[in-house]
Amino acid sequence: MNIQNILLQAAGGSPNPMGNIILLVGIVVVFYFFMIRPQMKRQKEARKFREGLKKGDKIVTIGGIYGKVVDIKDNNIAVVELAENVVVKMDKSALVADASEIQTTAK
């Protein structure tokens, strides 16, 4: 038995099929606003960040490595300088944040 039926029986009423439909629609609305919509917003922001990358931007990779964009090749490849004379090619999907916006506490 579900909780709604138990509560209705305790109140002396009979189960209403329309109430079940309203409850189901309510659950879908809650899932949309608290799970689906924020995820879509994060994906849109990440796509906008990756499309806006340009030479000289400081970035952070998914693995937490800080670097600076040296060049953008094709649409999906960024050449990133990790340290002096250490340059790697990375897929743009591996870049997650702008390092200039991240505040570090280490000195």
Supply the pLDDT for residue 97.
Answer: 81
More confident site: 7 or 53: 53
Hey, what are 74's tokens? 């094709």
For 39-71, how does the pLDDT look when each residue is reduced to its tens digit (9 = 90+)? 999 999 988 988 888 899 999 999 999 999 999
- Angstrom distance (rounded) from CA 70 to CA 78: 8
pLDDT band at 99 (very low <50, low <70, confident <90, very high): confident
More confident site: 42 or 2: 42
- Angstrom distance (rounded) from CA 59 to CA 7: 54
Share of the chain above pLDDT 70, in %: 81
pTM above 0.85, yes or no: no
| Class at the top of the CATH hierarchy for domain 54-98 | mainly beta
Residue 104, pLDDT > 90, answer no
Phi, psi angle pair for 105, to nearest 5°: -95, -15
Q: What residue spans define the domains of the chain?
A: 3-48, 54-98
pLDDT band at 32 (very low <50, low <70, confident <90, very high): very high
Residue 81, pLDDT > 70, answer yes
